[in-house]
Amino acid sequence: MNFFTFDIRKVFAGILLVILPLLAINMQRNSEEELWFTRPFTWAAGAIQNGFHSFSSGVRGTTAMYLDLIDVKVRNRELEEDLARLKAELGSVTELKLENQRLNKLLGFKQASTHNLIAAKIVGRDLLPDHHTLTIDRGTDQGVKKNMAVITTGGVVGYIFRAEPQSSQILLLTDRYAAIDAIVQRSRARGVLEGFTRDMARLSHLKRADDVVEGDLVVTSGLFRIFPKGFPLGTVTKVERSQYGLSQKVEVEPAVDLTNLEEVFVITETHNLPEPEEKASEETSDKAVQ
C-alpha cells in the first residue's frame, strides 16, 4: 500500500513536470484560444495574482498612510513649537511695552516732582503674614537711608526701615508696626494711620467728634520730616462711632495697590532737613557772627 502511494506520487509529479511546460508553450502560442483543461489553472493563477496584487496594494496604501501620519505629526509638532515661540515673543513684546509705559509714567512723575527722588525696583517681598515689607534694589551706596519716604505715582507706599549698601527694605503702611501722621483732607481732622491688615490700614487717635465720613481722602500731614505734606495715603471705607466712647474707628483703603508694585520712588531730601532746634541755633549763630 505504501509502495503504491509512493509510485502514484512519483507518477503525478512526473505528469506535472511534463504538462506544465507544455501548457506554458501552448498558452504562448494560442493566447487567444484557451484550452478547456487549462482554464482551472488560469483561473487559479489569476485569483492568486489578484489576491497578491490586492494585498500588495493594501500594504503600500497602509505604509503610505502611516508615513503620511508621521509627516503630519512631525509638522504638527513643528507648528506647535512655532506657535509657542511666537506666543513667548509676543508676551515679551507685550511685557516690554507695558514696562515702557510704566517707566514713561514714572519718568514724567519724577520730572514733574519738586522732590529729589531715587527710582528703585521691587526685588523681594516678605511672605510672612505678620510682616508687610518689600525689598528694593537701591541702598546706602545710592543714597537711600533709614526713614526715607517711599512713594509711587498713586501715593504713599511706606518708608525705609532698613538700608543696606545695595538694597533696602520698605515697611509698608499696612504693616502693624507702621505709623504715619495723617489728616483728613476735607475736614482737616488729624490722626495716625496704622497698619491693620495686609490690604487695609486704620486711622487712629481721632476724637469722636472729628468729622470723618466714608469716601474721605486721607493724606500725609507733613509732620516728623519723613513725608511731604499732602501725599495720598488712602480712602476712608468704614467709620464706626461707639455710643459712649470718646473715639471712632476708621478703616482706610490704601491709595496704592501694594500687592502689584514693581517700581517705586524714594524721597531723599526730607530726611536731610535740619531739626527745628538745629535750624534755630544756626540762625542764631549767623546773627551772632554778623
- CATH number of the domain enclosing 228: 2.40.10.340
Quote the percentage of the chain above a pLDDT of 90: 38
Residue 96 within a domain: no
Residue 150 within a domain: yes
Distance CA 255, CA 156 (A): 7
Mean pLDDT over 192-209 rounds to 92
Distance CA 288, CA 5 (A): 150
Under 8 Å between Cβ of 149 and 226: yes
Is residue 70 over pLDDT 50?
Answer: yes
Q: How many CB atoms are located within 10 Å of the residue 161 CB?
A: 17
Residues facing 191 on adjacent strands: 182
Is residue 84 over pLDDT 90?
Answer: no
Name every residue whose Cβ is closer than 8 Å to that of residue 140 and which is 6 or more positions away in sequence.
Answer: 163, 164, 165, 168
Tell me how far the alpha carbon of residue 81 is from its chain's centroid: 20
User: What are the tens digits of pLDDT across the range 40-59?
Assistant: 555 555 555 555 556 556 55
- Which residue shows C-alpha cell 503702611? 173
Tell me how far the alpha carbon of residue 22 is from its chain's centroid: 86
The pLDDT of residue 89: 64
What residues make up the domain containing 127? 117-272
Burial bucket for residue 183 (CB in 10 Å: 0-12, 13-18, 19+): buried
Residues facing 248 on adjacent strands: 241
Residue 288 within a domain: no
Is residue 212 over pLDDT 60?
Answer: yes
Residue 143 within a domain: yes
Residue 245 within a domain: yes
Q: How many CB atoms are located within 10 Å of the residue 51 CB?
A: 10
Residue 24 within a domain: no
Which contiguous run of DSSP H or E holds residue 163? strand 155-163
Is residue 148 over pLDDT 80?
Answer: yes
Closest CA to 204 of 214, 225, 212, 232: 212
Better-predicted residue by pLDDT, 33 or 145: 145
Is residue 274 over pLDDT 50?
Answer: no
The pLDDT of residue 208: 87
The pLDDT of residue 96: 64
Residue 110 within a domain: no
Residue 187 within a domain: yes
**Which pTM value belongs to this model?**
0.60
Structural domain count of the chain: 1
3-state helix, strand, coil in the chain (%, to 5): 45, 25, 30
- Which residue shows C-alpha cell 507518477? 11
Distance CA 187, CA 262 (A): 33
Under 8 Å between Cβ of 225 and 279: no
In a 3-state reduction of DSSP, which class is residue 183? Answer: strand
